[in-house]
Amino acid sequence: MTKIVFMGTPEFSVPILEGLVTAGYDIAAVVTQPDRAVGRKKKIIASPVKNKALELGISVLQPEKISGSQEMEEIAQLRPDLIVTAAFGQFLPEKLLQIPARGALNVHASLLPKYRGGAPVHYAIINGEDETGVSIMDMVKKMDAGSVYAQEAVSITREDDVGTMFTKLSYVGRDLLLKVLPQILAGSLLSVEQDEQQVTFAPNIKPEEEIIDWQKTAQEIDQKVRGMRPWPIAYTTYQGNRWKIWSVSVLEEKTEEKPGTIIRSTKGQLWVACGNQSVLAIEELQPSGKNKQEVTDFLNGAGKNVAVGQQVGQDEL
């Protein structure tokens, strides 16, 4: 029986771990990120993969940094045949990749060589792609640069966000991995080198990238809102306060107003002028220190002084 060390952290990784267990692979250990303090109350939360591993009775390792750690020595002592990673969240050192006899595979949420890096789904949506996908690839020293065994495309609809796409991709990735893994282990499926001329990158989202630029078109801002949801959430500012923007609609309207100008307040929508004379309707937002709420509730409460003609996105926070 093939002995595997599985490395993953978010919900995306869970179906893949479960699939390997159900298919009968011997999961010797699960490696995941340490428990983290989350939210305003700083509640300590374990990763979804840790919870699932404990439920399945699998031992868990949680290195703060895998390179040079005691946990890396423990992985070596397990003498795995294979390492499988799926959104682990740390760069794996070459010394670790050399431990398993059959190497290391990654389930990557993109159609490589496009979108190498830690935020491939975010950038696929932000850039308005019609599809993304999953790649089963060899892990090498260079980030996401290994040769690819198999890929499967998945459409991105206008309603999708990062959360819905990660759910779709996790199940597609699970099924694709389980389909090709026996062939990889048997040596009957060969990998294909990535075309370096076609490489694009999707690095982790920086805080300044969460800010909405109202000079962009309504369509581009819609893509950004969906590409930042449910984390980290795009935001704008209004009179010194931060509004996290959860839901918007692109309108078939034109305006001569300056981008960022509130041009209309209707039941359920706050219309804002965008670049190229386009108009976006904010439908759900989260003011600083408040819960997420529909615009109607916001305008009847904390936002009752918001008025047509005022500007959003003008403040430095």
Condensed to tens digits (0 to 9), the pLDDT of residues 3-20 reads 999 999 999 999 999 999
Gap between the Cα atoms of 28 and 56, Å rounded: 12
Statement: residue 127 has pLDDT above 90: yes
Q: Are 287 and 300 a contacting pair, CB within 8 Å?
A: no
Q: Are 134 and 87 a contacting pair, CB within 8 Å?
A: no
Measured CA to CA in angstroms, residue 133 lies from 156, 212, 237 at distances of 9, 26, 34
Residues linked to residue 133 through DSSP beta bridges, in sequence order: 153
Statement: residue 128 has pLDDT above 70: yes
Mean pLDDT, rounded, for 97-106? 96
Residues linked to residue 237 through DSSP beta bridges, in sequence order: 242
Summarize pLDDT for 254-289 with one digit per residue, the tens: 999 999 999 999 888 999 999 999 999 999 999 998
Q: Are strands 293-294 and 279-287 parallel, antiparallel or unpaired?
A: antiparallel
Binding annotation for (6S)-5,6,7,8-tetrahydrofolate: 110-113
pLDDT for the residue 317: 60
Binding annotation: 110-113
Q: Buried b / exposed e across 57-78, counting CB within 10 Å, b at 16+? A: ebebbbbeebeebebbebbeee
Dig out the tokens for 21 from the structure: 């267990």
Q: Buried b / exposed e across 153-167, counting CB within 10 Å, b at 16+? A: ebebeeebbbebbbe
pLDDT for the residue 316: 65
Phi-psi map region of 97: left, alpha, beta (phi>0 left; psi -120 to 50 alpha): alpha
| Single-letter code of the amino acid located at 98 | Q
Residues 6+ apart with CB under 8 A from 148: 112, 135, 136, 137, 138, 191, 192, 194
Q: Categorize the per-residue pLDDT at 231 as very low, low, confident or very high, splitting at 50, 70 and 90.
A: very high
pLDDT for the residue 38: 84
Summarize pLDDT for 36-90 with one digit per residue, the tens: 998 777 899 999 999 999 999 999 999 999 999 999 999 999 999 999 999 999 9
Instruction: Give which of 165, 158, 121 is closest to 247, Cα–Cα.
Output: 158
